């Protein structure tokens, strides 16, 4: 959840949705994203809506305290219940992300999940994930989460090499994320993910191979690998501009992606989205699939985004403003937009083309179809699914996914 919010029309004080958004809701799965906007320290590359204790001192600091946070999120979940009305859907996925959710007591995360259970009910096979920073959990913490209903956990590993972790300002020691996987398995988690970042300044191909080996060796059933994005306004962007650290170029990113895909495939991880690999269908992140397939989700917490039936809205960004809105009995929504049919078509292409199943060619307009024929001829789309009416990226296409998408939406 990058921290810049879009403009949009205002959200009514009671958070009510246009009636149209709820039409046919029973046929769509419903997920919850719960944002935890706190970190012990800020990593120099990170642009997410998160705050350290010192950043929260001053205006709104008391309201924004971590101690009250689980209660505020529970309040927004009760608001969601009112807004969604007699919605009979049990919740299919819950994803607690950040920030650093595991800076809160495990009991707070369990309490937030309990509010969803109380208000909506959880599907029998609900996927319940939290993100976790490796230095912020121990076996007792993980056991408490597991006993409280969490069944999937995602650790921010990023790299196994100390000098890469240092450039990223990560505070865990090499080896700790792998130990976390073991501890999570011992605690009974069904699914475990490791997040990796490639293309960090100063990282070599061999450093990246070492990180991949370490991640694979730990045996998670899911891995995500992201090219480092140097976000404007971050400490890392400033350091690069000042010439203190070098910028990595796109060719390096492409090489690292190829190294990763080969290592993952060899070890039994199949790609199912451009940046995500899993050992089985059951290991896929169902929550992310809800996003990618345009289902309904409610995002609770400061700056969180939601989508229900073609209406997208986002909350006020600052934890103090968020607490104040809920405390006054109002929706924390800051703005919203009602997506047009064309917006939804474009969004489907943007998201579904990145999936292994690809996107229906029937969604493309004539210019996009022409572009897809060219992409096919250039080896960026797979011939077999294409003949059956779907645009599916080849390995080379995955390297150029953003450019292919840009052409196909025309």
Does residue 203 interact with ligand SAM by CB under 6 A? no
Among ligand SF4, ligand SAM, none, what does residue 261 contact (CB within 5–8 Å per kind)?
A: none
* Identified binder of ligand SF4 from the candidate list 1, 21, 46, 214, rule CB under 6 A: 46
Binding mask 145-184 for ligand SF4 (x = CB under 6 A): -----------x----------------------------
Q: What is the DSSP string of 35-101?
A: EE-B-SS--TT--BS-B-HHHHSSTTTTTT-GGGHHHHHHHHHHHHHHHH-S--PPEEEEEEEES-G
Stretch that binds ligand SF4, among 2-10, 97-105, 274-282, 382-390 (CB under 6 A): 97-105
Binding mask 117-146 for ligand SAM (x = CB under 6 A): --------------x-x-------------
> Is 133 or 211 the residue whose CB approaches ligand SF4 more closely?
133
Binding mask 225-254 for ligand SAM (x = CB under 6 A): -x-xx-x-----------------------
| Separation of alpha carbons 5 and 314, rounded Å | 7
Number of residues that bind ligand SF4 (CB under 6 A): 11
| Separation of alpha carbons 299 and 110, rounded Å | 17
Does residue 193 interact with ligand SF4 by CB under 6 A? no
Does residue 304 interact with ligand SAM by CB under 6 A? no
For 34, 54, 322, the CA distances from 61, given in Å and listed in that order, are 20, 9, 12
Does residue 196 interact with ligand SF4 by CB under 6 A? no
Among ligand SF4, ligand SAM, none, what does residue 231 contact (CB within 5–8 Å per kind)?
A: ligand SAM
Among ligand SF4, ligand SAM, none, what does residue 42 contact (CB within 5–8 Å per kind)?
A: ligand SF4
* DSSP state letter for 329: T
Number of residues that bind ligand SAM (CB under 6 A): 17
Does residue 99 interact with ligand SF4 by CB under 6 A? yes
| Separation of alpha carbons 304 and 98, rounded Å | 10
Other CB atoms within a 10 A radius of the CB of residue 197 amount to 25
Question: How many residues does this entry show for the chain?
Answer: 410
For 12, 218, 305, 328, the CA distances from 9, given in Å and listed in that order, are 9, 47, 14, 21
- Closest residue to ligand SAM, judged by C-beta, is 156
Does residue 46 interact with ligand SAM by CB under 6 A? yes
| Separation of alpha carbons 251 and 58, rounded Å | 45
Give the burial string for 81-103 (b: 16+ CB within 10 Å, else e). Answer: bebbeebebbbbbbbbbbbbbbb
Does residue 98 interact with ligand SF4 by CB under 6 A? yes
For 48, 77, 101, 230, the CA distances from 74, given in Å and listed in that order, are 22, 5, 15, 34
Stretch that binds ligand SF4, among 38-46, 285-293, 310-318, 341-349 (CB under 6 A): 38-46
**Number of continuous H segments (helices) and E segments (strands) in the chain:** 17, 14
Structure-token match 């090489």, residue found: 255
Residues that bind ligand SAM (CB under 6 A): 45-46, 48, 97-100, 131, 133, 156, 158, 195, 197, 226, 228-229, 231
Residues that bind ligand SF4 (CB under 6 A): 39, 42-43, 46, 48, 50, 98-100, 133, 156
């Amino acid at each position: 959840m990058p921290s810049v919010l879009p403009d949009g029309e205002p959200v009514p004080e009671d958070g009510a949705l246009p009636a149209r958004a709820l039409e046919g809701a029973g046929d769509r799965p419903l997920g919850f994203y719960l944002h935890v906007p706190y970190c012990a320290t800020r990593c120099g590359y990170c642009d997410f809506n998160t705050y350290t204790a010192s950043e929260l001192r001053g205006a709104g600091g008391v309201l924004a305290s971590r101690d009250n946070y689980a209660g505020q999120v529970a309040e927004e979940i009760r608001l969601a219940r009112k807004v969604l009305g007699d919605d009979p859907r049990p919740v299919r996925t819950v994803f607690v992300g950040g920030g650093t959710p595991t800076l809160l007591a495990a009991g707070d995360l369990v309490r937030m999940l309990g509010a969803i259970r109380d208000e909506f009910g959880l599907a029998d096979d609900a996927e319940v994930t939290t993100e976790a920073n490796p230095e912020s959990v121990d076996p007792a913490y993980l056991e408490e989460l597991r006993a409280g209903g969490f069944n999937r956990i995602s650790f921010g590993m990023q790299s196994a090499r100390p000098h890469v972790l240092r450039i990223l300002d990560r505070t865990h020691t090499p080896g700790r994320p792998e130990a976390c996987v073991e501890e999570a398995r011992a605690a009974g988690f069904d699914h475990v993910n490791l997040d990796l970042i490639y293309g960090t300044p100063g990282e070599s191909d061999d450093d990246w191979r070492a990180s991949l080996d370490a991640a694979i060796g730990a045996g998670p059933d899911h891995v995500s690998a992201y090219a480092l994005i140097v976000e404007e306004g971050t400490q890392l962007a400033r350091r690069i501009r000042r010439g203190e650290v070098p910028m990595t170029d796109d060719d390096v990113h492409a090489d690292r992606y190829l190294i990763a895909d080969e290592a993952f495939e060899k070890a039994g991880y199949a790609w199912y989205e451009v940046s995500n690999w899993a050992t089985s269908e059951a290991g896929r992140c169902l929550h992310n699939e809800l996003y990618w397939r345009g289902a309904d989700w409610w995002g609770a917490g400061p700056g969180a985004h939601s989508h229900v039936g073609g209406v997208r809205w986002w909350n006020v960004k600052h934890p103090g403003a968020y607490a104040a809105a809920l405390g006054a009995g109002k929706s924390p929504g800051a703005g919203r937009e009602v997506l047009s049919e064309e917006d939804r078509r474009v969004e489907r292409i943007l998201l579904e083309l990145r999936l292994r199943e690809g996107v229906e060619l029937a969604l493309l307009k004539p210019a996009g179809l022409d572009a897809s024929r060219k992409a096919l001829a250039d080896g960026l789309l797979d011939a077999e699914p294409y003949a059956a009416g779907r645009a599916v990226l080849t390995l080379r296409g995955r390297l150029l996914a953003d450019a292919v998408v840009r052409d196909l939406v025309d």
